[in-house]
Each structure stands twice: as structure tokens, then as C-alpha cells.
Amino acid sequence: MRIAHCRNTLLNAARTEFELSKSQYFFVCDPSQASDLSVFTRENFLSNFMYDRNEWAAFTATQTYDYYDIWPLRSKLVNHDALDMVNRYKANWTFWPAWDNFVTPYKRPIPLDYPHLIEVNSAFGGAAIYQSKYLKSCNYSGWLVDKEVSEHVPFHECIKNISGGGARIFINPKFQTATDWKD
């Protein structure tokens, strides 16, 4: 929950001190993921602006070695909390078989030259750029209903709800950050 509090502190500072409402975009980045400038380049960041602004609310990043940010990932393919599934099923299996079943299949790298945006309900990947108009009343929270979740899941749910469901969130394969490790 501490990370949600930190993200809200920055978001609220952007709203009040930097007049977020007058900005078109809000960029969020985990510094450890953007530290390798050979991966996190100006070109891959600017790739987010190749698309019609009316078609997206947010673009999230992917990584070079594998897609590491599984906890906030929600899509048609991954419509469950992968880490929650590991925790629930590791009692029946050992940890690694549960991990291999619920996490590993979704960690495959997304190639930089993958030709399509990947629509998701939630993702992060170490960096995201949002259109500011969707952030007026959304805040980060590490809770959804009665369980702990990635802070991005309720945040992205709010973005989608505030727009009446029309806000679209994508993983942009050209928008890459670096993981600190290789599997």
C-alpha cells in the first residue's frame, strides 16, 4: 500500500502544484526500469505519439528480456491476479509449479517490432503515459473489494469507468523499459 500512497502523493502534486488539468499528458515511471538509456530511448518514448489521441487513454511499457510486471496485468487473456493464483495454489503444489502455471506463460517478451498495440484492462511495465483528462478523480489504491492488488488495477478501472468504458489502455511494444535481470 506504500507504493499507492507514494504514487498518489506525486499525482496530487501534479494536480495542485503543476496544474495537471492544463497538461495533456502525465508520465509515470519506476526509475529502476528507465535507467538503461540504451533501452529506454527517446524514440521508444515518442512512439506513443504515433497514434490518434482519440484512440487511447494510456500506453504502458513492456521490457526487453521478459514481461516482468505480471501483478497489474489484466486483459482478455489474463483476467486474473496471477500472484494471487500462485499464493492460492501453492498449498496444493509447491511454489514453482504454481508459478509455472499462472505466471510464466505471460512473461514472454513482446518484441520491439511487434506490429500491433495490445489492448489491456490494466498493465504498467515500469512506465506509463496517460492523457491527463482521464485522471481528474482517479487515485491509486492497493485494495480492490477486500483483497490486496496491484495499485494500477483500481487506478485503471477508474480511468475506464470515468469515461463510460470508452477509455482504452494499451501495451505499446515499441515503448520499452529494461528489467534489472535476465531469466
CATH number for the domain spanning 149: value is 3.90.550
Note whether residue 101 is domain-resident: no
Note whether residue 132 is domain-resident: yes
Segment 88-137, tens digit of pLDDT: 887 777 788 888 888 888 888 899 899 999 999 999 999 999 999 999 89
Query: How far is 121 from 154, CA to CA, in rounded Å?
Result: 10
- C-alpha distances (whole Å) from 121 to each of 34, 118, 154, 161 are 23, 10, 10, 11
Mean pLDDT of 149-174: 93
Greatest mean pLDDT among 29-38, 81-90, 155-164 lies in 155-164
Q: Alpha carbon 1 to chain centroid distance?
A: 16
Q: At what angle do helices 95-102 and 82-89 cross, to 10 degrees?
A: 150
Contact present, 73 and 82 (Cβ < 8 Å): yes
Q: Domains in the chain: how many in total? A: 1
> Cβ-count burial of 146 within 10 angstroms (0-12 exposed, 13-18 middle, 19+ buried)?
exposed
Which of 41-45, 90-94, 167-171 is predicted least confidently? 90-94
Note whether residue 94 is domain-resident: no
Q: What are the cell numbers at 154? A: 483500481
Domain hosting 125: range is: 2-79+108-177
Where are the strands (E) in the chain, listed by range? 25-29, 58-63, 118-120, 127-131, 143-144, 147-148, 169-177
Note whether residue 154 is domain-resident: yes
Residue 180 has φ and ψ, to the nearest 5°, of: -80, 0
User: What's the pTM?
Assistant: 0.89
Note whether residue 146 is domain-resident: yes
Note whether residue 155 is domain-resident: yes
Note whether residue 145 is domain-resident: yes
Note whether residue 21 is domain-resident: yes
State which amino acid sits at residue 81.
D
